[in-house]
Amino acid sequence: MAAQTAAAQNWGGGVDDDEIHFGFTFQYLTSEFKFLKKIDWQKPFIDENGRIVSGELKSLSSKSSPGFGIGFVVNKRLGENADVRFTPTLVFNDRLATYEFAGLEAPIEKKVQSTMIDIPLGIKLKSDRRNNFRAYVIGGAKYSMDIASKKRSNDDSFAAMEKFLKNKKNFLSCEAGFGVDLYFEYFKMSPEIKLSYALNNVLKNDPSPYSAPIDKLMLRHVTFSLFFE
């Protein structure tokens, strides 16, 4: 029995015993806006020339939109049951907002296209290892920077109803999640689910029928990751 336990502990290439080790990750995520509306969010939009360019806003909503990411892992061992993890990731994701104006037959869907560099820093708290299985929880903060082309938000020559819903290029999020470490002969694989919520307003408040009803625009991500270390 002792020999079997020792053999099991060696699976994973001994990665948990390294002071610092590296890996990579693949991610699938969904994003969703959370709107904090102004008191008068339903009123028609009036442009700088005093013209009414939209009808009354009847509803404002967001639905989940999928995306994916790829990144790498730097893991610093703090002890048998704790690590510090740095996991920079390149993320491709669209965000959706749907507006329903009075006088229009169909809702208007505004898509915010983003290519993000996410830079999370987290603390991973692990259970004791049981053969080739270990559960964990993780929490921390994430800095996100949009590197999408400026052409995606250049709407200076557009009519008011054709303007974009613009997001800030940089924001902070808090994160929390859980996962399991599964040990194979030469590597460790870790499925993980994590929730991220923006700490600050992501709305870039350019005058338009799409930003005018919004007091604050928050962003939520649910991410499923596979880590290989």
Band (53; pLDDT cuts 50, 70, 90): confident
At residue 14, does pLDDT exceed 90?
no
Rounded-to-integer distance, Cα 19 and Cα 181, Å: 17
Give the chain's domain count: 1
Q: Is the pLDDT of residue 20 over 90?
A: yes
pLDDT at 156: 74
The more confidently predicted of residues 158 and 86 is: 86
pLDDT of residue 161: 87
Q: Which two tokens stand for residue 18?
A: 């390294």
The band of 3, judged by pLDDT with boundaries at 50, 70 and 90, is very low
Read off the pLDDT of each residue in 141-162 and give the average, rounded to a whole number.
80
Q: What is the pLDDT of residue 2?
A: 40
The mean per-residue pLDDT over the stretch 112-124 comes to 94
pLDDT at position 60, please?
94
> From the centroid of its chain, how far is CA 142?
9
As to burial, measured by CB atoms within 10 angstroms (0-12 exposed, 13-18 middle, 19+ buried), residue 35 is middle
The CA distance from 158 to 218, in Å, is 26
Q: Provide the pLDDT for residue 1.
A: 40
Mean pLDDT of 209-217: 94
| Average pLDDT estimate for 174-191 | 95
Q: Which two tokens stand for residue 59?
A: 């509803």
- Predicted local confidence at residue 83, as pLDDT: 97
Q: Rounded to whole angstroms, how far apart are CA atoms 83 and 181? A: 13
Domain that residue 8 falls in:
2-228
pLDDT at 43 over 50: yes
Mean pLDDT to the nearest integer, 185-195: 95
Residue 56 has a pLDDT of 92
Q: The domain spanning residue 64 has which CATH number? A: 2.40.160
